[in-house]
Structure 1
Amino acid sequence: MALVANARMYSATAAARADWKTLLAWVLARAELGWELIDHDAPAPLSALWAREDLGLAMMCGLPFSQRAPRPTLIAAPVPSPARYHGRPVYFTDIVVRADAPYQRLEDTFGGVVGYTLADSMSGGVALANHLAPYRQARGKRLYRKAVGNLIHARGVIEALAAGTIDVGPLDSYYHDLLRHNEPAFAQQVRTVASTEARPIPPLVATAALKPGELARLREALQASTTAPELRGVTERLLLAAFATPDRGDYDVLAQIARSHLPNFEEL
């Protein structure tokens, strides 16, 4: 079976998409793997990409990674360069409002309209519901008068906020930082009022069985990519400090959160 590679998940802008393709092509060449680098652009669902059995190197949300059986092979995880990541392969969910909105705290948004990307997305749905659950329990009634879903990705959340369709919504922090770095005018339409605690960042995985030596070559090539002089501009634009190799058990907490009794968005 011919394997494929893809980096759709953090292709936050057209430039980021091109840079990820450049980086992955370099990695495959260094690892001596003649796999095809495929596109899977929005609005095609990421779940369809992750369901494939021929992924040799693809970014996958940590939640489906933790839930899939058999679990994919964890190859590596990006370490974002901004200071708030402290050199760790983690990310947050930034909870944002429109830049000119009157809200100063998350609590100020209660009574308004909450948006989310997909109910089964960690950063765009589950992490937000988990963060809001204690507020919902303490309040004893709904936090928001309405929920708007199926915004697909962080760009959809920002567009909905700018249009006034929603009052508050979640952004994957690494995706958010890539937007702020590479497309600041678009990102400046929103501002952050709260962030969730750090969670393991979506990793690069393989759903297909790798041949002996392929995993080691991929990990070496990914690590080398962040110090290669010819990729310096690419990694700087991608805010990419390094690739780490976390334990796959680090992601178990995500499945545990999803299994807990979280309020659905129609109850928030």
Structure 2
Amino acid sequence: MTPAPAVLRFSKRRPPFARMATLLLSLGVSAASLPARAQAPAPKSAPAPKVAPAASTKVRMAMTAAFVSESGMPVYGRIATYLSKKLGAEVSFITGQSYGDVDKMLDAGSVEVAFVCGLPYVLKHDANKDSVSLIAAPVMKAARYANKPKYFSDLIVRKDSKFKKLEDLRGATFVYNEETSNSGYNLPRYKMLKLGLTQGFFGKVLRSGSHEESIRLVATGKADASYVDSLVLDFDRETSNGWASEVKVIDSLGPAGIPPVVVSGKVSAELRQRIKQALLTMNKDPDGRRILDDALVDRFAEVDDSNYNDVRQQYQAAVKAGFTTIK
């Protein structure tokens, strides 16, 4: 015969609390084991709203003025990879753009950071101070740069040339890289202005498109002389690349403000500061140090607009004198 289930009976005269205690004891639960306010459990909190992950930052980097020659271009890809690691962002290096192309891309924000020539920087800054911001500039290792963010424009001729100075080149063939180049055009134009060589001094003037091509044209006898970026010439001499060993320097202009690193005015202040900090501390990081060493750079340094006053003053002097075209 199946036993009847146990039934708990309560006296009607016992208070509710006493009846509850009796029930708990019968179930083997002591009052001490109950949490405070067990009879009124706390309401469940609403689940936290889900937040969509932020879109990954993408940074596009361009270059129109290098601190190495064309043979050293891979260094910029390595800098992009280094910045990717430091920023936690995808940094891509865009190549093949002209001075004018990169200028427009900075305006549009389709390039965030760029290595540019000093003269295009000055022209852009003076037209609209908010269009770009200086964040750093390289300081080269070689003693001639005196541990400062400066460089030179070197006048080159063939190794066997009899030309000894600029004034000897009357009637000769002169080649330059681009009209908006500081070392290839602005500095030599100012030198010619100061010497009064403004009335058709050269016999022929050629445009090469790059310092490397100017060096080649001089080395192979297709041009007599050219003012080229000292950084490009130094790199090819140091690494035994290109035609640098076939030319000699007969004049140097400068020191002038070295081509800087700028960011577009459309870049946020937070990202601008992160890019700047990554470059300024690059020499203290083992991976960064190796990249700089291969590019003959000591470090990146902070610079302000005054570093380019020499570039600005020489350009303005030529414009004021009406001598804007080397001839």
TM range, normalised to the smaller chain?
Answer: 0.7 to 0.9
Moved more, 5-14 or 65-74: 5-14
The one of 210, 230, 245 equivalent to 1:173 is 230
In the alignment, is the contact (CA less than 8 A) between 1:23 and 1:225 conserved in 2?
A: no
Q: Which amino acid aligns with 1:118?
A: E
In the alignment, is the contact (CA less than 8 A) between 1:136 and 1:143 conserved in 2?
A: no
CA distance in 2, matches of 1:242, 1:256: 27
> In structure 1, what is the equivalent of residue 157 of structure 2?
97
CA distance in 2, matches of 1:12, 1:50: 21
SS, match of residue 196 in structure 2: helix
CA distance in 2, matches of 1:203, 1:214: 18
Is 1:66 matched up with 2:119?
no
Map 1:1-268 → 2, pairs under 5 A = 2-10=58-66, 11-14=68-71, 16-32=72-88, 34-41=89-96, 44-52=97-105, 53-54=108-109, 55-68=111-124, 69=128, 70-136=130-196, 141-149=199-207, 151-184=208-241, 186-260=243-317, 261=321, 263-265=323-325, 267=327
How far residue 176 of structure 1 moved from its aligned partner, in angstroms, is 1.6
Aligned length: 260
Q: Which amino acid aligns with 1:64?
A: P
How far residue 243 of structure 1 moved from its aligned partner, in angstroms, is 0.8
Q: Which amino acid aligns with 1:49?
A: V
How far residue 87 of structure 1 moved from its aligned partner, in angstroms, is 0.7
How far residue 35 of structure 1 moved from its aligned partner, in angstroms, is 3.9
The one-character-per-residue Cα deviations of 1:105-146 (angstroms, maximum 9, x if unpaired) are 333223311111112221111111111222235xx8543222
How far residue 158 of structure 1 moved from its aligned partner, in angstroms, is 0.9
Moved more, 99-108 or 119-128: 99-108
Could you state the TM-score of these two structures normalised by the residue count of structure 2? 0.73
Q: Describe the shift of the 1:209–1:264 C-alpha distance in structure 2 as closer, same or farther (beyond 3 A).
A: closer
CA distance in 1, matches of 2:91, 2:290: 24
CA distance in 1, matches of 2:147, 2:156: 24
In the alignment, is the contact (CA less than 8 A) between 2:152 and 2:254 conserved in 1?
A: yes
Q: Which amino acid aligns with 1:147?
A: V
CA distance in 2, matches of 1:258, 1:162: 29
CA distance in 1, matches of 2:131, 2:313: 15
Tell which structure's C-alpha radius of gyration is larger.
2
CA distance in 2, matches of 1:170, 1:232: 31
Q: Which amino acid aligns with 1:23?
A: I
How far residue 185 of structure 1 moved from its aligned partner, in angstroms, is 5.5
SS, match of residue 284 in structure 2: coil
CA distance in 2, matches of 1:192, 1:111: 19
The one-character-per-residue Cα deviations of 1:13-40 (angstroms, maximum 9, x if unpaired) are 33x21122112321232133x2431332
Q: Name which structure has the greater RCO, CA cutoff 8 Å, separation 6+.
A: 1
How far residue 83 of structure 1 moved from its aligned partner, in angstroms, is 0.5
In the alignment, is the contact (CA less than 8 A) between 1:7 and 1:21 conserved in 2?
A: no
In the alignment, is the contact (CA less than 8 A) between 1:117 and 1:153 conserved in 2?
A: yes
Could you state the TM-score of these two structures normalised by the residue count of structure 1? 0.87
Unaligned 5+ segments in structure 2 are 1-56
The one-character-per-residue Cα deviations of 1:157-194 (angstroms, maximum 9, x if unpaired) are 11211232211101111122112122345211111100
The one-character-per-residue Cα deviations of 1:66-125 (angstroms, maximum 9, x if unpaired) are 111244111101111110001100111111111221223333223311111112221111
Q: Describe the shift of the 1:71–1:209 C-alpha distance in structure 2 as closer, same or farther (beyond 3 A).
A: closer
